[in-house]
């Protein structure tokens, strides 16, 4: 489905104008294969388009700094031109309770115990990510 149709569906579901949703449904591609890999690989591995909200956001630009030179990161930031602010995605989530700001240690211990005693069903079906040295990613 193209970005305009997605925008129309978003308008129907959430209100506003379809033009408001175009930047959300349109993601950049670059001439640099390594940058495209950084942006698209999480989506291609998971099939979850929400991963693009991470790699194509100001948070994604911050992540890029770990693997790419400043010029490449600045190009990505300029391409996004402030359209993908992670803060915008988080606005609907109200964090009013103290427990929402820091996890309960007892809950963490319980989750750790469950993880140790139960095999994760998805773990066997998801292939491991290849380990790419940082130098290889930058070049």
Token pair for 108: 């963490």
Helical residues (DSSP H) of the chain, grouped into ranges? 3-14, 18-25, 33-46, 51-55, 58-64, 70-80, 86-90, 98-101, 105-117, 134-138
Q: How far apart are CA 120 and CA 114, in angstroms?
A: 10
In terms of phi and psi (left: phi > 0; alpha: psi -120 to 50; beta: otherwise), the region of 130 is: beta
What pLDDT is stored for residue 14 in this prediction?
81
Question: If you average pLDDT over residues 15-32, what whole number do you get?
Answer: 76
d(CA 32, CA 76): 11
Which residues lie below 8 Å from residue 50, measured CB to CB, with a gap of 6+? none
User: Given its phi and psi angles, is residue 30 left (phi above 0), alpha (psi -120 to 50 degrees) or beta?
Assistant: beta
Q: Would you state the pLDDT for residue 72?
A: 92
pLDDT at 117 over 90: no
Q: Is the pTM of this model over 0.85?
A: no
Residue of 101, 119, 88 lying closest to 23 (CA atoms)? 88
Mean pLDDT computed over every residue of the chain: 76
pLDDT of residue 111: 74
Q: What is the pLDDT of residues 29-87, one digit of tens each?
A: 788 899 989 988 998 899 887 888 788 888 889 889 989 999 999 998 888 876 677 77
When pLDDT is cut at 50, 70 and 90, the band that residue 123 belongs to is: very low
Residues 32 and 72: their CA atoms lie apart, in Å, by 9
In whole angstroms, give the CA distance from residue 28 to residue 50. Answer: 14
Mean pLDDT value across residues 103-119: 74
Cβ distance 61 to 83 under 8 Å? no
């Amino acid at each position: 489905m193209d970005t305009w149709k997605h925008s129309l569906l978003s308008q129907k579901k959430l209100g506003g104008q379809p033009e408001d949703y175009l930047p959300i449904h349109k993601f950049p591609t670059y001439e640099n294969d390594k940058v495209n890999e950084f942006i698209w690989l999480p989506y291609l591995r998971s099939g979850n388009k929400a991963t693009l909200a991470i790699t194509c956001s100001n948070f994604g630009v911050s992540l890029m700094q770990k693997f790419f030179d400043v010029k490449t990161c600045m190009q990505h930031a300029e391409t996004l031109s402030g359209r993908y602010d992670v803060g915008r995605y988080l606005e609907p989530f109200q964090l009013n309770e103290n427990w929402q700001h820091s996890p309960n240690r007892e809950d963490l211990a319980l989750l750790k115990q469950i993880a140790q005693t139960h095999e994760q069903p998805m773990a066997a079906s998801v292939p491991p990510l290849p380990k790419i040295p940082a130098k290889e990613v930058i070049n």
